[in-house]
Structure 1
Amino acid sequence: MTILLFQTLLYPPPSSFFVTIMSILSCLSLANGGYMETKGKHMQYSKFFNAAALKKDKVQETMLGSRDGMLLLYTPAFLVGLASFAIFGNQDLRFIMLILVLTIHFLKRVLEVLFVHKYSGSMALETAITICSSYTISTGTMIYAQYLSQEHNKPTIDLKYVGIVLFIIGIVGNFYHHHILSNLRTKDNREYKIPKGGLFDLVICPHYLFEIIEFIGVSCIAQTTYALAFTLGTMFYLTGRSYATLEWYLLKFGEKFGSGVKALIPYAF
């Protein structure tokens, strides 16, 4: 029954050892990253940079300004998406839609870095390179897997238009809550505050919730095993990250923090 369902919703896995291995590695590595977040072993960026640095021995690290680090994270993946329009010409609508949404996703990230986010710290170069490599390789692999899938019959159920709707909901919701976070900080005060507005009254990471919705949309557009594996891994990672974020806010603000606020899913988790 499960196999039949997968055959109905997904293209058959491409005959590519690289894509098969990357599907497994992407899902497992992201899931492990989410698990490590819940155990206090954070990726060293954002509010968790100083927390992680305090736990480490004093080791000389190459540091980047937060803005430069965040640009390094997203720009190569954006360029991969942009270049794909020229590399893969004369493809079907689904393929073009996939490249378009991935390019828009990372273009939005770059524009947010330049014009929306406010910064108060640094980022380790090692962390920036690790995350940048993950985004760039996963973007290229997703596009390549889509290219290989075109030699197979299409899934019985076409989800690409559902995927577009979910992607739009996700990217708009993600931007809206990023904008709320940005407005918490002023030029003279870059301290972290308890966010209010939007879904922040219900969950501490609504921007992660909408990012998950966004990538569910991407996987519906692609309908490939790699896109599904990457989306599942992203869900696991952001779930772990949101749990760690909730713990961080509880530790920092204590009783000032709303007791009913969840990590990721309103009223549930």
Structure 2
Amino acid sequence: MLPKMLKSCVFQEPSSIYTKAFYGLTILAVGYLGISEAIGKHLGYSKFWNSGSNTQILLPSKVGMLLAYTPSLLAGVSSFWVFPNDDGGIRFLMLKSAITIHFLKRDLEVLFLHKFSGYMVLNTALIISSTYLTSAASMIYIQHRVQGFPEPSVDLKYLGILVFLVGIVGNFYHHYLLSKLRDKNDKGYTIPRGGLFSLVVCPHYLFEILTFIGFSLISQTLFSYLCTAGSAAYLLARSSATRNWYHSKFEDFPKNVKALIPYVF
């Protein structure tokens, strides 16, 4: 029953060596990132920028984050030229637009909202950049490849837009709350307050996952579902590490605050 239900929500896809390579590389990349976070080998940014070797090349956080997100933004923007929407239909247009809006928001937040307190390891910036770029470009390319194939019998694209909008608004709101925790010249950390911070330490990650769920529901390709699952696994591990970090730094950190999912995890 379950495979049949899943089949009704996924595009039939043409088989090719390129598609198989996209799947293989994506599974390896997100698997490595998720496992690394789970075992304490954190990517060097945010609270964990200095968790690795002191010999690594460091970038100002703003520069590193722009390096991480901008290539994916350019992939989204260029997709409107590389894959004109003459035959792509509304679903393809929705996916390209959602990916472009997501990474445009990321860059605008880096430029005008976030207040950074540390550095970002160059290798980390390159890993994040290449992972996001591969995922974004591959989702768009595979969506292009399935044009002309039968649509899934269960149409989830409009639900996907709704989930995407909830995710992107919720993520921005909690980033805004984080930006208000410190003054411009303040480099210290405090316990986050407001929004869902009373329930979980990383609500911005929770809404980030919703954003990727939105991508996959719009796209309805197996690759997009895998990207969402990989992103969720990484953010689950990262949020758990962040919760442990807060507990180690603040004796009064509330013990009932979960890592990512209210009342659950």
Q: Establish whether TM, by shorter chain, passes 0.5.
A: yes
In structure 2, the partner of 1:64 is 59
The runs of 5 or more residues in structure 2 that have no matched partner are none
Task: State the identity as a percent.
Answer: 49
CA contact (8 A) 1:105 1:171 kept: yes
Q: Which moved more, 1:237-246 or 1:62-71?
A: 62-71
1:31 offset after TM fit, Å?
Answer: 3.4
RMSD over aligned CA atoms reads: 1.2
In structure 2, distance between residues paired with 1:235 and 1:25: 17
Q: Deviations over 1:14-54 (max 9, x none)?
A: 3122222322432343233223212211001110112x13x
Does 1:180 find its partner at 2:184? no
Equivalence for 2:23: 23
Q: Which residue identity does 1:107 align to in structure 2?
A: L
Aligned 8 A contact 1:30 1:233 in 2? yes
- Tell me: higher relative CO, structure 1 or 2? Use CA pairs within 8 A at least 6 residues apart: 1
Shift of 1:190: 1.8
Q: Quick one: which of 222, 226, 234 aligns to 2:219?
A: 222
Residue aligning to 2:74? 79
Q: Does residue 49 of structure 1 match 2:45? A: no
Q: Contact 2:8–2:152 at 8 Å: present in 1 too?
A: yes
Match of 1:171 in 2: 168
> Could you tell me how far apart the structure 2 residues matched to 1:68 and 1:138 are?
21
CA distance in 2 between counterparts of 1:43 and 1:242 reads 12
Provide, for residues 158-193 of structure 1, a one-character-per-residue CA deviation record: whole Å limited to 9, x for no partner. Answer: 000000000000000000000111110102322011
Q: Name structure 1 gaps, 5 residues minimum.
A: none
Picking from 128, 153, 161, the partner of 1:131 is 128
3-state DSSP class of the match of 1:186? Answer: coil
The answer on whether the counterparts of 2:71 and 2:133 sit within 8 Å (CA) in structure 1 is yes
Q: Is the 8 A contact 1:242 1:264 kept in 2?
A: yes
**Inter-partner Cα distance in structure 1 for 2:237 and 2:141:** 28
Map 1:78-97; keep pairs closer than 5 Å.
78-89=73-84, 90=86, 91-97=88-94
Instruction: Quote the Cα distance in structure 2 between the aligned partners of 1:3 and 1:267.
Output: 30
Within a 5 Å distance, the mapping from 1:77-156 to structure 2 comes to: 77-89=72-84, 90=86, 91-156=88-153
Q: Which amino acid aligns with 1:4?
A: K
Distance 1:49 1:71 in 2: 16
In the alignment, is the contact (CA less than 8 A) between 1:27 and 1:232 conserved in 2? Answer: no
TM-score (norm 1): 0.94
Preserved contact between residue 209 and residue 228 of structure 2 (Cα < 8 Å): yes
TM-score computed with the length of structure 2 as normaliser: 0.96
Please name the residue that 1:2 is paired with.
Answer: 2
Shift in Å, 1:129: 1.1
Q: What amino acid maps onto 1:212 in structure 2?
A: I
Q: Secondary structure at the match of 2:59?
A: strand
- Do 1:32 and 1:237's aligned partners in 2 also have CA atoms closer than 8 Å? no
For 2:184 and 2:152, the matched residues in 1 are separated by 51
Contact kept, 8 Å, 1:84 with 1:99, in 2: the verdict is yes
| Alignment of 1:258 onto 2:254 | yes
SS at match of 1:199: helix
Between the aligned partners of 1:155 and 1:227, the Cα distance in structure 2 is 14
Query: Is this contact kept in 1: 2:9–2:152, CA < 8 A?
Result: yes
CA–CA distance in 2 between the matches of 1:223 and 1:33?
A: 24
Moved more, 116-125 or 154-163: 116-125
1:268 maps to 264
Could you tell me how far apart the structure 2 residues matched to 1:182 and 1:31 are? 31
